[in-house]
Amino acid sequence: MPGHPFDDAIELESTEAKGVLRGHTSPEWANMVGPFGGVTAAALLRAVQLQPDRTGDPVALTVNFAAPVLDGVFDIAAKPVRTNRTNQHWLIELWQDGEIRTNATAVFGLRRDTWSDTERLRPSVPEPEDIAPTGLPGTVVWAGHYDMRYVEGGIPGDGHGPAGSSTTTLWARDRRGRALDFPSLTALSDIFYPRVFLRRGAPSPAGTISLTTYFHADGDELASAGGDFVLCRARAHRFSRGYFDHSAEIWSRSGDLLVTTHQVVYFKT
């Protein structure tokens, strides 16, 4: 019986080389060119989670999309750079045809009780049940795995003009109700279509170059979020000379700030 398409996409098997795991791209997670970057990032994180000497849970992940991932088999090499008492640093590389296509660094760590506070609170928005599901155009295959309810800043279609703000806010959940875990949170970090489309009112060539995600949730908060909608919000800061950045947050429905995430994107227009 086939598993959930997300689990299939990040499934990795061990190889004879220490720290090296083998996976394969899934047509179901195709983007315009190559696979959805979010699922590649999730596979890189998963490769660390599967290492027997891994300590703790993800704290930070930076993924650099150096070259397009080709359809087919890939090897992910995960190497511990440094193991400290409460955290561990990893270097992760995705190889195809003898070349690094994607590389990443990750920090995993143990969490312990401290003073806690959330400053970036979940905005008040309509409930997802009160918003029509839309999503992304059917040519963006991977997006079909998510139930997306846009509060603002949906992808511009015919008749849309340029927008004055690059902010997009949407509810999203796995369409089949798969419960959140660290790999799926990683993939959700890349759920936003390029902000330049919104500002310009039309698609144009664009691709994420580097994606950084900070994980604030612990296992209990993830379990409590389950397979319910999470609220995702992104906005760009500056578009300039072929690059722009954006920053985003993901909150659970009950208001836990699960992730803050940032990326820099190459664009033409």
Query: Of the ranges 6-14, 44-52, 142-150, 258-266, which one interacts with its own copies (CB under 8 A)?
Result: 258-266
126 makes contact with its own copies (CB under 8 A): no
Which residue type is seen at 229? F
Of 9-17, 30-38, 78-86, 185-193: span binding its own copies (CB under 8 A):
78-86
Is residue 266 near its own copies by the rule CB under 8 A?
Answer: yes
Site string for its own copies, 12-51 (x = CB under 8 A): ----------------------------------------
Tell me which DSSP letter residue 145 carries: G
Pairing relationship of beta strands 57-65 and 206-215 according to DSSP bridges: antiparallel
For residue 152, what are the CA distances in angstroms to 90, 126, 145, 167, 170? 37, 11, 20, 7, 7
Q: Is the dihedral of CA 50, 54, 56, 62 positive or negative?
A: negative
How many Cα atoms occupy the beta-carbon half-sphere of 251 within 13 Å?
18
Write each residue from 164 to 203 as x if it is in contact with its own copies (CB under 8 A), else as -, in one continuous string.
-xx-----------------------------x--xx---
Residue 247: both structure tokens together: 């920053």
Residues that contact its own copies, how many (by CB under 8 A): 62
Among 49, 55, 103, 224, binds its own copies (CB under 8 A): 103
Tell whether residue 262 is a contact of its own copies (CB under 8 A). Answer: yes
Closest to its own copies by CB, 83 or 134: 83
CA distance 11 to 46: 8
Residues 6+ apart with CB under 8 A from 127: none
- Could you tell me which residues come within 8 angstroms of residue 211 by beta carbon, excluding any fewer than 6 positions away? 37, 41, 61, 62, 63, 65, 189, 190, 261, 262, 263
For residue 1, the minimal CB distance to its own copies (Å) is: 37
- Per CB under 8 A, does 240 bind its own copies? yes
127 binds its own copies (CB under 8 A): no
Binding residues vs its own copies (CB under 8 A): 59-60, 62, 64, 66-67, 81-82, 84, 86-87, 89, 91, 99-100, 103-105, 107, 109-120, 165-166, 196, 199-200, 209-210, 212, 214, 216, 218, 235-243, 245, 247, 249, 257, 260, 262, 264, 266-269
